[in-house]
Structure 1
Amino acid sequence: MKKELWKVALMLLLVIVAYGFYLNVQIQQSFSGNKWQVPAQIYARPLVFQRGEAMSVKEVQQELELLGYRKVTKPTGAGEYSYWNGRFNIARRAFDFSDHSEARQFLDIHIRNEKVAGIMDMESGEVLTQAKLEPWLATRFISGSREDRMLINLQDTPAGLIQALLLTEDKDFYHHYGIAPLSIARALVANLTAGRTVQGGSTLTQQLVKNLYLSREKSLWRKLKEAYMSVLLDWQYSKDDILEAYLNEVFLGQNGQQAVHGFGLASLYYFDRPIQELGLAELSTLVAIIKGPSRYNPRRYPARVTQRRDLILRLLYENEHISSEEYEHYVQRPLGVVSKSQLARQVHPAYMDKVKRELRQVLPDPDARQSGIRVFTALDPHTQRNAEKTAQSALPAVEKQRKLQDLEMAMVVTDFDTGELRALVGSRDVDYKGFNRALDARRPIGSLVKPAIYLTALEQPFDYHLATMLKDEPVKLKSSYGKYWQPQNADKTFRGKVTLLDALSGSLNVPTVHLGMALGTDNIASTMTRLGVQENIPTYPAMTLGAVDLSPLQVNQMYQTIANEGRFIPLHAITAISSNEGRLLWSFNAPEYIAVEPEAAYLVNYALHKVTQTGTAKSLKNAFPGVNLAGKTGTTDDYRDSWFSGFDHDFLATIWIGKDDNETTHLTGASGALALYTQFQSLQQPRSLAQRFPSELGIAHFNPDTGSVVPRGCKGSLSLPAVLNALPQPGSCDITPPEPVPQEEKSFWERLFGD
C-alpha cells in the first residue's frame, strides 16, 4: 500500500512539474517579448527657438499651454515656466527625440520686437543660437484592443510612487518568492471574521499574473494556478522586471471604451502631466485608485479618494518616508485631478488620416505599429488650429454673404521648403472622420493649371520671357469627338495681344490656350509630372484651362515645387519613427532634386506675386499691406469649384471649396477660396515672401507694346527679370507713351525691379 502511495505521489509530482513547464512556456512567450499591444504615440513638430527668427510672445505662451507647462514665480522643476516683460524662464522637460536625447534644461528665452532676441542656458550661462521644446503628444493610435497604456521604465518612475505602492499593496515584495503565505492567512482570517472580503492577500506578482494570464473567474483552481505561475515568474525574472511590468499593467480607470492601464497613462489621464512631474500627494492618489478604479474614481468620488489617499500618506509617514510636516502639507492639498483629460480627445482626424496612411506604408506589420512606437510628425498645432478655425468661421461667412448652403471645403498647408505637412482639413466639420477631401476628392483645378503652362514656356528662355506678347484673339478648336471648343476670357472680351506676365497675373483664358497649344499639351503634361503630379494627365485642349482632376494635396505638391524654386520634395506628414526604447526605426530621407529650371520657377513666382498685387488676388494687397505674398486663383466651369493656392515666407496653403454633388457654388476662386485664405492668414500673421535671385537672371527692359528688348532708360519701358544671355540685343526706344494713370505706392518687388 505504501508503495502504491509513493507511485501516486510520484505521478502527481510529475504532472505538477509537467504542468509547470507548460505554464512556464506561456510566461516566457509573453513576458520576454512584447507583453502588450501599445498604441503608437503621435507627436507634433517641436517648437524651435532660433536666434533672430520671427516669433511672438503669444506663440510661446500658446505652446507652453499646449504642453501643459505650469506658470510659476520661479521655475524649479521640469514643466514649469515664468514670464516677465518679453522674457521666458522655462524648465524644459527631458525628452528622447528620434535621433538624440536631451536632458532637462533651464532656458532663458528673450522675445523682442516679434523676434527671438536671445537664448541662454540658465545653469551653465552659455549663450545658445538654438533651443527647442519637446513636441506635443497630439494623439495615440489605439487598435481594436480595449486596453490602453503608455509604457514607463522603472528607473524613470518617482521613488515616492514605488514607496507608496509597496507599502499599500505588497510591503514584502522584495523578500517573498511570488506568494506570501502569511499574508494570505491573515487575509483569510480577516475575511472570515468580517463575513465578507475586507482584505486581500495577493502579492504584486499574483496581481500581475492574474491580469496578464488569467480570467476573472473566482475559483480555488484559478487561485492555485495564479500562485503556481507567480512562483514561476518570480523564479525566472528579477524583482525589478516584475515591478516594472506591474507599473505598466495595473488597471486604473476607464477612458470611454478604452481601459486605462499603467501609471504612465493614468498620470496623463487624471493630471494631464507626465508621472515624473507629480508630487507625492498625486502619486498617492494613483495608488489609491488601485483598490477599485470604479469605487475610487477621483472625478466621481473625490471625498472617498481623498480619504484613501490620506491613508496612504499616513503609511508613508509611519514608515518614516516623510516627516510629520510633509504629511500635514500633503493631506491639505486638493486632489488636483483635471476635469477632462486631453487623452479623451481625438484631434485633427484629417491630418491623422494622412499619418495613418504613411505609417502603413513605412511599417506594414501591424504588430510593429502597436509596440509603443513614437511617430514624429510635421504637424504645427497652431497652424492646424487656425486652418480649422478658418473652416468653422470663414466658410459659413461666405455662405451667408453669398446666400449659399451645403458648401464643403478642404485645405492643405505645407512648409514648401521641406515638403512637411503642417496642417490638413478634410471637411468643414473639422472633427469628421469620414471622407477626406484633402486627400481623396479629385476635382477639376481650373486656372490653377496655368502656372505649369507658363513655366513650360519660360523654361525656353530663347523663345519666351515675361514680356513676350501672346495673342488674345478668338480661338476655335475641334475636339476628338468632332465638337468645337471656343474658350472665352472671364470678362468675355479680347485684347488683341497681352504680355505673358499680364496673361498669367490676370488669369486670361484665351492667351493661355494660344500659348498652351503652341507649346503642346504633351509638354505641359510632362511639366506637371515633373512638378509632382502622379496622375494620368489628359492632353486634350481643355486641359490648358484646368480640365484636370486633382486632389488638394496633389495641387499643393505641384505648387510646392514652384514655390521651392523648382526643387521637388515629396509632401509628407511623418518625419521619423522610433521604438518605445528610443531606437530609430525610420526617418524621412527622400532626396530633393531640381525638377524644373530655377530661373523659370523664379519668373513664375514673380508673376504669382503680381497676381496678389494687380491680378485676380489683388485683395490680398489691401488685406496685408506691406507683406509680399504670391498665389493663384482657380475657377472651373459653371463655378462648380473655387480654388486658391498661395504662399508667404513660411507656408504654402491650398484651399478648395465645392459641393459633393458637383452642383454650382456660384463662387470664383477670388470670391470663395481666396476669402478663406485671407481669413487664415489673418490668424497666422504672414511674413513677406523672399526668394533667392538666381545668378542667371538679371533685369531687362522691354517695349510694353511689342515685347521687344530696349535699352535701359527708355521712357515707358517695362523692367522685368529675365535670362539675360537668352535675350537679343536691345533695339530702339520706339515706345508709345502710355495713358497717364493714378500713381500707387510701389510694392517691394516693384521697387526692386523698377528703374
Structure 2
Amino acid sequence: MAVLVSDGIERRRRIKPYKATVFAPVEPRAQRIKRIATKTIVWTSVIGAILLVAAGIASILFYNHYAAIVERRVDAGFWQTRAGMYAAPYQIRKDQQATPDAIVEQLRRAGYVEGDNNGTVWNGSFEKTDTGLKITNSNAYSLEPEITNINFAGNRVKQIEQNGAKADTYQIEPEMLSGRSETKRTKNHVLKFEDIPENLRNAILAAEDQRFFNHHGIDPRGIARAFVANLSGREIKQGGSTITQQLVKNTFLTPERSFTRKFSEAFLSVALENKMSKQDIFAVYCNEIYLGQYGASGVNGVEQAARAYFNKDLKDVTLDEAATIAAMIKNPRAYSPQHNPENSRERRNWILARMNEIGLSNASDVEIARNIETKLAPPKANDRTIAPYFVDAATKELTSKFSADYLNSNFNTRVYTTIDTQLQTAAERALTKRLEGLDKYYSKKSCGSKEDSSSIQNPKSKIQNGCRLQATIVALDPHTGHVLAMVGGRDYRESQFNRATDAQRAPGSTFKPIVYAAAYEHGYSPISTAADQATEFATIGGKMYKPSNYHGAYSNTNITFKTALVKSSNVIAVKTAMDVGLGSVAKKAKEFGFDNVETYPSMALGTMETTPLQLAAAYAVFANGGTSVEPTFIDKVVSGSDQMLQLSTPNGKQVIKEQTAYMITDALMDVVHRGTAAKANGALGKNVVFAGKTGTSKDGWFAYTRPAATSLCRCGSIL
C-alpha cells in the first residue's frame, strides 16, 4: 500500500500477515502429578545411585585404610605392647664407669634374655662377646632387629656401635615395675584360646558379648538389646560394645570420645575380624585385659587373675571363680572381690543367671555356684617386688590425673615413671643394712612412741622388749621434680603405710635453712651477726619461751648467721625468725611447700609437722636456683596405640632469689665439711661435694642436695 509523506515522495509500508495464536491442550492434573513424580523418582534414583556408589567407594577406601593399619599392627604383634608401669630407661654413655656384669644385671632386670634370640623375646636379647656385649633389640615396627655392640676397656665403656654406626649413648628399655607376671615379661607368653577353660569363656561371653561368635566386629542387635535392657533397669548391666570393639578401642585408638573415634572403631573392628580368627581375638582380649590391683601388683589377663586372686592355674578355676573374674572386666575396682565383695558377688550372680538364660550353663551348676562364698588367696609378694611404695604413690598420682572409667577400660596403657632402679636398689640396701645395725643396738630399748595397729597385730615388727625402728628415703631431681627413688618403710609386706608421702613428723633443725632463707630475702646476709647466748622470748599471751642449744652449749659471742646455721644454733634461729617476723617466715615456708606451719617461736626449730617428700622438695629449691618444682612420679603415659596421653613438664615458681639459694647452699656445704653433718663428709666418695643438714626431734633427719639429686633420710619410731 502506497503512502504519501510530507516530502511528496511515495513510500511503501510492508504489512505483516496475520498469524493466529494456537493454544496447547490443557494437561489433566493427575497426569501432570504423575509426570512430576516420575521425574522426581528418576532423579532421586539417579542421585541416590550416585551417592550409593560414592558411599561404597568411600567405604572401600576407608576400609582399605583401616585394614592396612590392622595389617601392620597385627603383623607387628599389637598385643605385645606390654601394658603396665615402667621405670625410667637406663642409659649407657660412652666413657662411663661400668662393667659388663653391671650392664648384664640391668638388661636382665629389664627383661632381656641371654642368648641369640634375634630380638624376639620381649625387649630383646644379649650375648657376651670377647670385647663386651652384643644387644639385639626387639623392635616390632622394624623389619630388621637393631643390633648394638658395647665394647669395654677395663671398667669403662670404650665404644658403642648401633647397626655398625658409632654412637655416644645407648638406652636400655625400661624395667617393668608392675603389670605382667615374671613369666610373661621374660618369655613373650601369649595365652591361646584352648588355654581358656570353657566356663570362663562362657562367663566372659555372658558378661560382655554373647553374640561374639555370630557378628562381624560390630553388633547392631547387641547394641539395641543393651539399650533396652539398661533402659528398663536402674543401672547399666549390659554394654553395647563387642569384645572386638573393646580390644580395638584399647589397643588402636586414643581415649577421647567423639564421632570420628566411633567411626574408626567400627571400621577397625571389621578389619580386625577379617585379619584374625575369632579364637585369636578372644585369646588376645583375655590375655591383655586389666583386672584390678591385688596386693602390690596390677593384674593383667585372666591367667594372672587366676593366680593372684585364687592361687590356681587357669585351667582349674571353678564356675563361681570364673564368673567373679568376668565380673571385674566392667570395672575392676567397683567389682573387686577384695575391695567391694558385695558388688562383686551381685555382679557374679547376675553373670551366672545370664549364662543359664542364654544356655551357656545349666541351672543346677548355676545354683551351686551362686551359693558359694568367694574365697580369695592371700596377696603374695612377687618373686621380685620392685619399689612397692613408689608404685603405690605413682598409682595414686595416675588416678588423680585420669578418670576411673578410662583406667578401667584402657588395659593397654603404659605408664613410664621417673624411678631410677639402680638408685632405688641402693637406697633399699642402705636402709636395710643400717636398720639391722640399729635393731641390735635398740633391741632392749623402747621406741618411746605409740605403736600403730599393724605393729601390735604383727609380732614380727617387735624385737624382744622393744620395737623396730622405721626409716624412709626419698631422692628426687631438683630441676624436674622427678622422684628418683623412694623407700616408704622397712618392709612393705608388714606395712603398706608409706611414711615418705603420708607420715607427718617434726623435721627438727632441717627446717632452719628455710628460716635463714626468709631472713636473706628480708635484707639479712650470711655475715649478719647475733648473740649466741641463753635468751628468753616473749610469746603471744605473755608467756616466755627459752630455747636451748644442743647440750646447753653457748659460745656467748656474736657469731655470723652462716656459722649459726653450720653449728645449728637454736637460740639464733629463733631470734632470727622473731626479728624477720614469724608471719613472714611462715609465709615463706608455705611457698617452699610446707602445709602445717603455725606462727610460734619454736617453729624456727622445726616443731611443726611435714612429710619427708615435702622436706626433700623444699631442699630441691636450693639446688634449683631458688625455683620450686612439684614432685612427680610419672614421666609419661602412652596408650596402646602409641599416643602420648601425658608428658610431665616442670612447672615451678621462683620461691627465693638465686643469690639466696646460693648462700644457703654454701652454708650447707660447710655443715657437711665442719658442722653437725661432718660425719657424712666423704660418704658419697672422696671428691664428691654436697650440701646437707641434720635434724633431731623424735626422729633423726638428714637432708642433702647436689645438682643431680636431692635426697632425704628419716629414721625414727614405728610411725
- Give the direction of change, closer, same or farther, for the CA distance of 1:434–1:482 in structure 2 (3 Å limit): farther
Amino acid at match of 1:134: E
Establish whether residue 351 from structure 1 lines up as the match of residue 390 from structure 2.
yes
Establish whether residue 647 from structure 1 lines up as the match of residue 705 from structure 2.
yes
Amino acid at match of 1:377: T
| Offset of residue 626 of structure 1 | 2.5
Partners in 2 of 1:39 and 1:106 — Cα distance?
A: 21
Establish whether residue 82 from structure 1 lines up as the match of residue 127 from structure 2.
yes
Aligned to 1:631: 692
Q: Please give the TM-score of this superposition, normalised by the length of structure 2.
A: 0.60
Task: Please give the per-residue CA displacement for 1:371-403, whole angstroms capped at 9, x wherever unaligned.
Answer: 221111012222222222233221121232355
Partners in 1 of 2:90 and 2:488 — Cα distance?
A: 25
> Is the contact between residue 119 and residue 139 of structure 2 (CA under 8 Å) also seen in structure 1?
no
Aligned to 2:138: 93
Partners in 1 of 2:180 and 2:583 — Cα distance?
A: 43
Tell me the secondary structure at the aligned position of residue 173 of structure 2: coil
Aligned to 1:333: none
* 2:205 corresponds to which of 209, 213, 230: 213
> Is the contact between residue 150 and residue 248 of structure 1 (CA under 8 Å) also seen in structure 2?
no
1:153-192 aligned within 5 A: none
Establish whether residue 108 from structure 1 lines up as the match of residue 170 from structure 2.
no
| Offset of residue 517 of structure 1 | 1.6
Question: Please, which moves more after superposition, 501-510 or 586-595?
Answer: 586-595
- Give the direction of change, closer, same or farther, for the CA distance of 1:621–1:294 in structure 2 (3 Å limit): same
Tell me the secondary structure at the aligned position of residue 641 of structure 2: coil
Partners in 1 of 2:576 and 2:88 — Cα distance?
A: 43
Partners in 1 of 2:703 and 2:529 — Cα distance?
A: 26
1:419-430 aligned within 5 A: 419-430=481-492
Amino acid at match of 1:60: I
| Offset of residue 62 of structure 1 | 2.2
> Is the contact between residue 596 and residue 610 of structure 2 (CA under 8 Å) also seen in structure 1?
no
1:202-281 aligned within 5 A: 210=202, 212-214=204-206, 230-233=213-216, 237=270, 238-241=273-276, 242-249=278-285, 261=301
Partners in 2 of 1:480 and 1:93 — Cα distance?
A: 68
- Give the direction of change, closer, same or farther, for the CA distance of 1:527–1:111 in structure 2 (3 Å limit): farther
> Is the contact between residue 417 and residue 635 of structure 2 (CA under 8 Å) also seen in structure 1?
yes
Amino acid at match of 1:454: Y
Residue correspondences, number? 488
Tell me the secondary structure at the aligned position of residue 561 of structure 1: helix
Amino acid at match of 1:646: Y
Amino acid at match of 1:371: N
> Is the contact between residue 391 and residue 430 of structure 1 (CA under 8 Å) also seen in structure 2?
no
1:25-174 aligned within 5 A: 41-52=84-95, 55=98, 57-72=100-115, 79-84=124-129, 87-94=132-139, 104-112=145-153, 116-121=157-162, 123=163, 125-140=164-179
> Is the contact between residue 206 and residue 230 of structure 1 (CA under 8 Å) also seen in structure 2?
no
Partners in 1 of 2:116 and 2:604 — Cα distance?
A: 63
Task: Please give the per-residue CA displacement for 1:118-151, whole angstroms capped at 9, x wherever unaligned.
Answer: 3221x2x222233311111111299xxxxx9999
Partners in 2 of 1:612 and 1:262 — Cα distance?
A: 54
Amino acid at match of 1:485: Y
Aligned to 2:626: 566
> Is the contact between residue 518 and residue 580 of structure 2 (CA under 8 Å) also seen in structure 1?
yes
Tell me the secondary structure at the aligned position of residue 231 of structure 1: coil
The unaligned stretches of length 5 or more in structure 1 are: 1-35, 143-147, 152-156, 170-203, 216-224, 270-288, 296-340, 662-755
| Offset of residue 76 of structure 1 | 6.8
- Give the direction of change, closer, same or farther, for the CA distance of 1:545–1:365 in structure 2 (3 Å limit): same
| Offset of residue 646 of structure 1 | 1.5
Establish whether residue 360 from structure 1 lines up as the match of residue 418 from structure 2.
no
| Offset of residue 553 of structure 1 | 0.9
Aligned to 1:286: none
Aligned to 1:465: 525
* 2:516 corresponds to which of 423, 430, 454: 454
> Is the contact between residue 531 and residue 562 of structure 1 (CA under 8 Å) also seen in structure 2?
no
1:272-671 aligned within 5 A: 292=315, 346-372=385-411, 373-402=413-442, 404=445, 405-460=467-522, 463-495=523-555, 496-533=557-594, 535-623=595-683, 624-636=685-697, 640-660=698-718
Aligned to 1:741: none
| Offset of residue 647 of structure 1 | 2.8
- Give the direction of change, closer, same or farther, for the CA distance of 1:604–1:110 in structure 2 (3 Å limit): farther
Q: Please give the TM-score of this superposition, normalised by the length of structure 1.
A: 0.57
| Offset of residue 650 of structure 1 | 3.2
Partners in 2 of 1:206 and 1:478 — Cα distance?
A: 79
Tell me the secondary structure at the aligned position of residue 423 of structure 1: strand
The unaligned stretches of length 5 or more in structure 2 are: 1-78, 220-269, 319-379, 446-466
Tell me the secondary structure at the aligned position of residue 389 of structure 2: helix
- Give the direction of change, closer, same or farther, for the CA distance of 1:446–1:246 in structure 2 (3 Å limit): same
Amino acid at match of 1:231: N
Amino acid at match of 2:563: D
> Is the contact between residue 43 and residue 374 of structure 1 (CA under 8 Å) also seen in structure 2?
yes
Task: Please give the per-residue CA displacement for 1:311-366, whole angstroms capped at 9, x wherever unaligned.
Answer: xxxxxxxxxxxxxxxxxxxxxxxxxxxxxx99665543211221121011111324
Amino acid at match of 2:149: D
Partners in 1 of 2:691 and 2:535 — Cα distance?
A: 30
Task: Please give the per-residue CA displacement for 1:492-512, whole angstroms capped at 9, x wherever unaligned.
Answer: 122112222221111111122
Amino acid at match of 1:67: A
| Offset of residue 589 of structure 1 | 2.2
- Give the direction of change, closer, same or farther, for the CA distance of 1:454–1:113 in structure 2 (3 Å limit): farther
If you compute each CA radius of gyration, which structure gives the higher value, 1 or 2? Answer: 2
Partners in 2 of 1:102 and 1:613 — Cα distance?
A: 57
- Give the direction of change, closer, same or farther, for the CA distance of 1:229–1:422 in structure 2 (3 Å limit): closer
Task: Please give the per-residue CA displacement for 1:231-276, whole angstroms capped at 9, x wherever unaligned.
Answer: 3358975243434422314589x9999997479x79x99xxxxxxx
Partners in 2 of 1:342 and 1:69 — Cα distance?
A: 22
> Is the contact between residue 149 and residue 262 of structure 1 (CA under 8 Å) also seen in structure 2?
no
Partners in 2 of 1:103 and 1:584 — Cα distance?
A: 25
Tell me the secondary structure at the aligned position of residue 439 of structure 1: coil
| Offset of residue 425 of structure 1 | 1.7
| Offset of residue 635 of structure 1 | 0.6
| Offset of residue 615 of structure 1 | 0.8
Tell me the secondary structure at the aligned position of residue 232 of structure 1: coil
> Is the contact between residue 471 and residue 498 of structure 1 (CA under 8 Å) also seen in structure 2?
yes
- Give the direction of change, closer, same or farther, for the CA distance of 1:439–1:95 in structure 2 (3 Å limit): farther
> Is the contact between residue 81 and residue 89 of structure 1 (CA under 8 Å) also seen in structure 2?
yes
> Is the contact between residue 474 and residue 487 of structure 2 (CA under 8 Å) also seen in structure 1?
yes
Task: Please give the per-residue CA displacement for 1:689-726, whole angstroms capped at 9, x wherever unaligned.
Answer: xxxxxxxxxxxxxxxxxxxxxxxxxxxxxxxxxxxxxx
Tell me the secondary structure at the aligned position of residue 491 of structure 2: coil
> Is the contact between residue 111 and residue 175 of structure 2 (CA under 8 Å) also seen in structure 1?
no
Aligned to 1:275: none
Q: CA RMSD in A?
A: 4.3
> Is the contact between residue 625 and residue 661 of structure 2 (CA under 8 Å) also seen in structure 1?
yes
Partners in 2 of 1:602 and 1:87 — Cα distance?
A: 43
Amino acid at match of 1:391: L
